[in-house]
A and B are shown apart, each in its own frame.
Chain A
Amino acid sequence: GQNIDQPTEMTATEGAIVQINCTYQTSGFNGLFWYQQHAGEAPTFLSYNVLDGLEEKGRFSSFLSRSKGYSYLLLKELQMKDSASYLCAVSGGYNKLIFGAGTRLAVHP
Chain B
Amino acid sequence: NAGVTQTPKFRILKIGQSMTLQCTQDMNHNYMYWYRQDPGMGLKLIYYSVGAGITDKGEVPNGYNVSRSTTEDFPLRLELAAPSQTSVYFCASILASSYNEQFFGPGTRLTVL
Contact = CB atoms under 8 A, between A and B. Distances in A.
Interface of A: 4, 30-31, 33, 35, 41-45, 48, 50, 87, 89, 91, 94-102
Contacts of B45: 96-98
7 contacts: A30-B99, A33-B101, A48-B101, A89-B43, A94-B56, A102-B41, A102-B42
Interface of B: 31, 33, 35, 40-45, 48, 50, 56, 58-59, 90, 94, 96, 99-102, 104-107
A42 B102 CA distance: 11
A50 B99 contact: yes
A26 B96 CA distance: 21
B43 A95 contact: no
A101 B44 CA distance: 10
Contacts of B35: 97, 99
Nearest to B42: A99
Given A4-B42, A42-B105, A43-B90, 8 more contacts: A87-B43, A94-B50, A95-B96, A95-B99, A96-B33, A98-B45, A102-B40, A102-B42
